[in-house]
Structure 1
Amino acid sequence: PAFQMTSVSFPWFQIMETEYYAPMADALSSTGLKSEATIVMRAAGYVPFMTQFSHVDSVGLTDNYLSGRKPISLIEREQYIWSKHPDIYIGPELPASAGATDCASEPLINSEYVQHILLHDNGTNLQLATLHIYKNTTQQERCEALHARMRELRENWDLVGRLSMPLPATKGEKIFAFVRRASPHHEQLTKALKTLVSSRLRGES
């Protein structure tokens, strides 16, 4: 299989490849869209390579603008990502609550999941670790950037469901699949992603 040498050295990746990345790549490849579709996800390797989808790397490893070479704000990062009009988003955030316009008006901000998974920096939080290139951001800045993404998901995306990840990077983290409502490939991509979402997990928050 792809990345076999890596998986020998790191059993974590072998498990993730077999149970998470490969099924996702197979499902999305079945659409035949290749570079016509764009995916946003923080893993820059297996899925974009195998599907040949265009990829917006939200971590910045393969994107010069998001790499940190030129200083940008967290909000500028969000604006850049969504300006690419991606078709799929894979990530740990949930859509914002109806009517919420910022962190202060968002009831989900006080939930255990947001406070202890999305905003708590315990040294192993991959989502927050990617923010090191933005230097000394405050908790409030991180919260507002998170909520900007949550509002984007509420206003422009359909939640397909929660994906089953065998070994989440952060304990307790959940990964959700979204398809942009205005995507010309909405039906195809939703159908493909639904094969990855079990009935037990579909729509779970």
Structure 2
Amino acid sequence: MLPSPNSDPNPNHSQFVEHVVLFKVKPDADPPAVNAMFSNLNGLNSLDPVLHLKAGPIARTRSSPLYFTHMLHSRYRNKTDLRSYADHPAHIRVVTSYGRAIVDDIMAVDWLSDDVTGSIIVPTGSAMRVTFLKLKEGVEESGKNEILGMVKRIKEQFPSIKQLTVGENFSPGRDKGFSIGSIAVFAGMTDLEDLDLESGLANEQKEFLDGTLVLDFVVPSV
């Protein structure tokens, strides 16, 4: 059984659920209201189903016509706990209280991690390279598996990656067509600055793709 959000005595976990939500905050949104929204979202880390949750501004968008300003990243033991979080009155209260007034657009992707070593709690100050891939229509299962395998092997090329998860989205509807998500965790932005993680995809594998969204996120202290 995986640990509570406040402790991680066993740092090696074979599988858990990654949940990433991207927000485009309205340019004319009231700053105190924006701060209140993300403060309340971070407060959801105390909910029983949640293993880890942090929300805050995106440091940089690397490549995409889409533009988002903020991100929420959270982790759960399984899909049931993710649903429990989504249906929790505290979560619904934050969404209904702030969403329409503050958020212009939203995107969400969920996937199961695969054989991840390291703490399920991402330390404050860590830098995350978050990548979403959109497969071309008609790509066969073998092509999708080739992409997934290539992303997994990126960790071997970049020793500064502390942890890497990748998987296929299992919650269609808010993914804007991006079916594969991955997160590479670094000790900090210094380790991330000069890396081109997309170089891990060979040209023949890029031919399977119809779009990419790459952004950087620094885990906030609150």
Q: TM-score range by the shorter chain?
A: under 0.3
* Higher strand content, 1 or 2: 2
Q: TM-score, normalised by structure 1?
A: 0.28
Using CA pairs below 8 Å that are at least 6 residues apart, which structure has the higher relative contact order? 2
